Amino acid sequence: MEVLNRLIDVRSTDPEDARRRKLLNLLLMGVAGITLVALLVTTLAVVFMPGAMDDAEGVTLIYGGSLAMLLSLVVIYLINRSGMGAVASSVFLVALTVIFAFSDSASQVAEGRSLFLFTIPIIMASVLLQPFASFILATLCSAVISTISMTLLDAVPTIPAILGFYIVALVSWMSARSLERALSDLHVINRELDQRVIDRTHDLAEALSRVQTESNKNQAILESIADGVIVFDQSGKAIVANPSIAMLIDRTQDEITGCDIEALMGNEVSPENREMLSGVVRGKGMGDYGTKFEWGSKTFSLSFATVQGSASESIGTVVVFRDFTREAELDRMKDAFMSMASHELRTPLNAILGYSDMLKEGVYGAMSAEQSSTLDRIIANTRRMLNLVNNLLDQAQMQAGKLTMHMSSFSVGSLVDELQSIMFILAEQKGLQLDCSIAEDVPPQVVSDPQRLQQVLVNLMGNAIKFTDQGSVSLNIKCPDQEHWALEVVDTGPGISEDAQTYIFEPFRQVDDSQARRHGGSGLGLSIVKQIVSLLNGQISLSSRVGQGSRFLVTLPLTGTEES
Partner 1 sequence: MNKQAMVIEDDYDASVIFAKALEVLGLEVQVSHDGAEALELLADVVPDVIVLDLHLPNVVGTQILQQIRDDERLMDTRVIVATADPRMADSIKPQADLVLLKPTTFSQVRDLASKLLSVPRSQSKRQEAFDR
Segment contacting partner 1 (CB under 8 A): 94-102, 103-111, 189-197, 341-349?
Answer: 341-349
Is 258 in a helix, a strand, or coil? coil
Q: How far is the CB of 404 from partner 1 (least distance, A)?
A: 8
Q: How far apart are CA 261 and CA 282, in angstroms?
A: 10
Considering the complex, state which of residue 75 and residue 341 has its C-beta at the smaller distance from partner 1: 341
185-244: contacts with partner 1 (CB under 8 A): none
> From the list 206, 327, 335, 357, which residue makes contact with partner 1 (rule: CB under 8 A)?
357
Identify the CA nearest to 438 among candidates 413, 410, 464, 472: 413
User: Using the rule CB under 8 A, is 351 a contact of partner 1?
Assistant: yes
Q: How far is the CB of 342 from partner 1 (least distance, A)?
A: 8
User: Using the rule CB under 8 A, is 347 a contact of partner 1?
Assistant: yes
User: Using the rule CB under 8 A, is 563 a contact of partner 1?
Assistant: yes
User: Using the rule CB under 8 A, is 386 a contact of partner 1?
Assistant: yes
Q: How far apart are CA 181 and CA 175, in angstroms?
A: 10
> From the list 348, 413, 471, 480, which residue makes contact with partner 1 (rule: CB under 8 A)?
348
Considering the complex, state which of residue 155 and residue 345 has its C-beta at the smaller distance from partner 1: 345
CB 564 within 8 A of CB 490: no
Report CA 360 to chain centroid distance, whole Å.
75
Q: How far is the CB of 378 from partner 1 (least distance, A)?
A: 14
Cβ contacts of 326 within 8 Å, gap of 6 or more:
none
499-558: contacts with partner 1 (CB under 8 A): none
Is 535 in a helix, a strand, or coil? helix
412-471: contacts with partner 1 (CB under 8 A): 449, 451
Considering the complex, state which of residue 280 and residue 529 has its C-beta at the smaller distance from partner 1: 529
CB 317 within 8 A of CB 240: no
Burial 515-553 (b: 16+ CB within 10 A, else e): eeeeeebbbbbbbbbbbbbeebebebebebeeeebbbbb
User: Using the rule CB under 8 A, is 406 a contact of partner 1?
Assistant: yes
Considering the complex, state which of residue 449 and residue 491 has its C-beta at the smaller distance from partner 1: 449
Q: How far is the CB of 418 from partner 1 (least distance, A)?
A: 11
Question: What single letter denotes the amino acid at residue 427?
Answer: A
Calculate the alpha carbon distances from 59 to 63, 71, 100, 442 in Å.
Answer: 6, 18, 19, 151
Q: How far is the CB of 345 from partner 1 (least distance, A)?
A: 12
Q: How far is the CB of 408 from partner 1 (least distance, A)?
A: 6
CB neighbour class for 137 (10 Å; exposed up to 12, middle 13-18, buried from 19): buried
Identify the CA nearest to 477 among candidates 422, 440, 448: 440
Q: How many residues bind partner 1 (CB under 8 A)?
A: 20
Segment contacting partner 1 (CB under 8 A): 162-170, 179-187, 218-226, 349-357?
Answer: 349-357
User: Using the rule CB under 8 A, is 341 a contact of partner 1?
Assistant: no
Q: How far apart are CA 502 and CA 542, in angstroms?
A: 10
Question: Which residues in this chain contact partner 1 in the complex, by CB under 8 A?
Answer: 343, 346-351, 353-355, 357-358, 361, 363, 386, 406, 408, 449, 451, 563
